[in-house]
């Protein structure tokens, strides 16, 4: 399992709801958690590892030692959003790129855990930002889509570099053929 970087087409696929939580899915989620910590991320979504399922892993402090901050969210939904807050954020599929994004300040979310139990959470500020960012991934939505015009302009060069790097990797055959963009 590997984190795919922009503009890998898997990042634009809409993830399907999970219908069964089996051994295979548990193993895949375990690998996603490991990858998240290895890359010092606060969250990782299925499409980012080319797994087109509605699965998210998060740790709001990015610390593997703090398991109380670690969450697995299967088929997550935002049931309520309140307020707005513009803060800088990044994404493991855009290493090194940080930009301000406006999001809801507070969200109430529902999701299933690995045991298949439905849970609900009320979160504000950074944890709310992580939930919204990761749920966007499940819909093929990326933080560059949500930047202000100014933010997108400031990120243009970095985004062009991601595209050039991806193109190079693709030519070298480092990108799986079945996931190549079909133009
Ligand atoms: Co991301």
Active site residues: 134
How many helices and strands, by DSSP H and E, does the chain display? 4, 7
Domains of the chain: 9-171 (3.90.45.10)
The Cα 177–Cα 66 span in angstroms is: 38
**What spacing in Å lies between the alpha carbon of 137 and ligand 1's midpoint?**
7
User: How far, in Å, CA of 21 to CA of 1, rounded?
Assistant: 19
CA of 19 to the centre of ligand 1 (A): 24
- DSSP notation for 74-133: EEEEEEEEE--EEEEE--TTSTT--EEEEE-SEEEEEEE-TTS-EEEEEEEHHHHHHHHH
Residue with tokens 């548990």: 26
CA of 53 to the centre of ligand 1 (A): 15
Looking at residue 53, the DSSP 8-state letter turns out to be B
Cβ atoms of 111 and 77 closer than 8 Å: yes
Closest CA to 2 of 64, 54, 49, 69: 49
Per-residue b/e over 130-149, b at no fewer than 16 CB within 10 Å?
Answer: bbbbbbbbbebbbbbebbee
Q: What is the mean pLDDT of each run of 10 residues along the chain (183 residues)?
A: 95 96 97 97 97 97 96 98 97 97 98 98 98 98 96 96 94 73 46
Phi, psi at residue 75, to the nearest 5°?
Answer: 50, 55
Output the pLDDT for position 183: 44
Strand, coil or helix: 8: coil
Distance 21 CA to ligand 1 centre (A): 23
55, 74 Cβ separation under 8 angstroms? yes
Q: What's the Cα-to-Cα distance from 103 to each of 40, 49, 55, 61, 124, rounded to whole Å?
A: 22, 24, 21, 19, 11
Residues surrounding ion ligand 1 at CB below 5 Å: 91
């Amino acid at each position: 399992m590997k984190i795919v970087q922009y503009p890998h087409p898997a990042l634009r696929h809409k993830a399907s709801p999970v219908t069964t939580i089996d051994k295979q899915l548990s193993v895949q989620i375990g690998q996603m958690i490991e990858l998240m910590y290895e890359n010092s991320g606060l969250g990782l979504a299925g499409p980012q590892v080319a797994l087109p399922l509605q699965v998210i892993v998060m740790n709001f402090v990015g610390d593997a030692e703090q398991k109380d901050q670690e969450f697995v969210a299967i088929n997550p939904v935002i049931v309520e959003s309140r307020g707005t807050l513009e803060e800088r954020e990044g994404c493991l599929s855009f290493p090194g790129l940080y930009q301000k994004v406006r999001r809801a300040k507070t969200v109430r979310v529902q999701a299933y855990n690995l045991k298949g139990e439905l849970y609900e959470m009320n979160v504000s500020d950074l944890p709310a930002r992580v939930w919204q960012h990761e749920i966007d991934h499940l819909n093929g939505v990326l933080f560059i889509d949500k930047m202000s015009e100014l933010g997108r302009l400031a990120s243009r060069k970095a985004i062009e570099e991601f595209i050039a790097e991806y193109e190079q990797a693709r030519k070298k055959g480092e990108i799986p053929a079945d996931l190549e963009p079909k133009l």
